[in-house]
Amino acid sequence: MGERRPRWVFIAGCARSGSTLLGLLLAEALDGFFCGELHHLWHALGNGRRCQCGEPVARCEVWVAVAERARHELGLTSDEEGTAIMRRRLRSRELLAPRMPRPGRDELELRAATQRAVEEVTGESVLVDSSKLPSVLWTSAFTAAPLDVVHLLRDPRAVVFSQSRPKDDPGGGGGVLAPRSLLTSSADWIRGQLAAERVARRLEASGSVGTVLRLRYEDLVDDPATALAPLAGSLGADVADRPVRPRWQHALDGNPIRFDPGVIRRDDRWRRDLDRWKAVASTVLTLPLLHRYGYRINPWVAP
Ligand SMILES: [Zn+2]
């Protein structure tokens, strides 16, 4: 008789879509552990990144213990080996090819060993991973752990606006997250949504996942308890009677909100500050998906 494995909740989506906020809220609502972006672990260990607890990841008691267990299980001699394996992961464009490739064997083994190590070190029954990347979701579905998926969406005009501005990166020791062009942001947003949808559909069809929930950032920040209720319900938790407030943990990477948890408010600055031509251009580029996800074509009208 095998013992019951903890559940993993994977947040899929694009950068600057609120995945760190969602991860914090989910971990709180489900009384679980928020990993942050787990696929960054090996890179974070060797590059001086900081954990949410304030320590460098390479000195955080949680992540040092996780890495030691995973390295031992796989016989890795350095964190750089883990980083190199993750660098070879599938890309979203490969997941959109007519025939979806299977993840590489070394990446599958690394993911499985890392997940087991997180389960053993934390002892939690629910683990939340905000890695976002569809390829990491695809890989995690090959592990034996039960898996639920939240596909997190955000209005692409808000994502374009957010990515066009440098943003503090306290996990990087005082650096900034570099700005990105409108074309790059829009193309990544489209590719990311399509790849996430395709992977999620494939996993649902094969029965590899429990719940697959599509969630909009805007709905999440307006009413967190209602937005999270379907997933919490499927995991046997009841968020309605619990205060939904983010808390401090040991999240890896993500964005600066993890260093300032507390008040939840919708970030709608893009409606006022995004250049008109950029708003029109990103609307045109993302038009088919805007409609599908229920976002208004005229970005100056609140949903
Ligand atoms: Zn830590």
Q: How far is the CA of 54 from the centre of ligand 1 (A)?
A: 7
Q: How far is the CA of 55 from the centre of ligand 1 (A)?
A: 6
Q: How far is the CA of 60 from the centre of ligand 1 (A)?
A: 4
Rg (CA), the chain: 19
Model confidence, pTM? 0.91
Q: Is the pLDDT of residue 245 over 70?
A: no
Mean pLDDT comparison of 16-20, 30-34, 186-190, highest-scoring range: 186-190
Q: How far is the CA of 252 from the centre of ligand 1 (A)?
A: 8
Q: How far is the CA of 150 from the centre of ligand 1 (A)?
A: 24
> In this predicted structure, which of 8-17, 182-191, 263-272 has the lowest mean pLDDT?
263-272
**Nearest-angstrom CA–CA distance, 182 and 286:** 11
**Nearest-angstrom CA–CA distance, 132 and 25:** 16
DSSP-derived pairing of the beta strands 175-177 and 126-132: unpaired
Residues with CB under 5 A from ligand 1 (ion): 51, 53, 60, 250
Tell which residue, 50, 54, 42, 7, has the closest CA to residue 26: 7
Give pLDDT, residue 54.
84
Q: Is the pLDDT of residue 174 over 90?
A: no
Give pLDDT, residue 3.
64
Q: How far is the CA of 187 from the centre of ligand 1 (A)?
A: 34
Collapsed DSSP state (helix, strand, coil) of residue 223: coil
Q: Let me know the angle formed at the C-alpha of 231 by 196 and 138, rounded to the nearest 5 degrees.
A: 25
**Nearest-angstrom CA–CA distance, 227 and 25:** 11
Helices (H), the chain: 19-29, 41-46, 61-74, 79-87, 92-95, 105-122, 134-140, 156-163, 182-206, 217-222, 224-234, 269-273, 276-285, 287-292
Cα separation of the two ends of the chain? 51
175 DSSP β-pair partners: 169
Q: How far is the CA of 63 from the centre of ligand 1 (A)?
A: 7
Task: Give the pLDDT band of residue 171 (cuts 50, 70, 90).
Answer: low
**Nearest-angstrom CA–CA distance, 103 and 262:** 38
Q: Is the pLDDT of residue 74 over 90?
A: yes
Q: Is the pLDDT of residue 166 over 90?
A: no
Q: How far is the CA of 122 from the centre of ligand 1 (A)?
A: 12
Check if the beta carbon of residue 39 is closer than 8 Å to that of residue 276: no
Q: How far is the CA of 59 from the centre of ligand 1 (A)?
A: 8
Tell which residue, 276, 260, 271, has the closest CA to residue 52: 260
Q: How far is the CA of 247 from the centre of ligand 1 (A)?
A: 13
Q: Name which residue leads in pLDDT, 235 or 196.
A: 196
Task: Give the pLDDT band of residue 1 (cuts 50, 70, 90).
Answer: very low
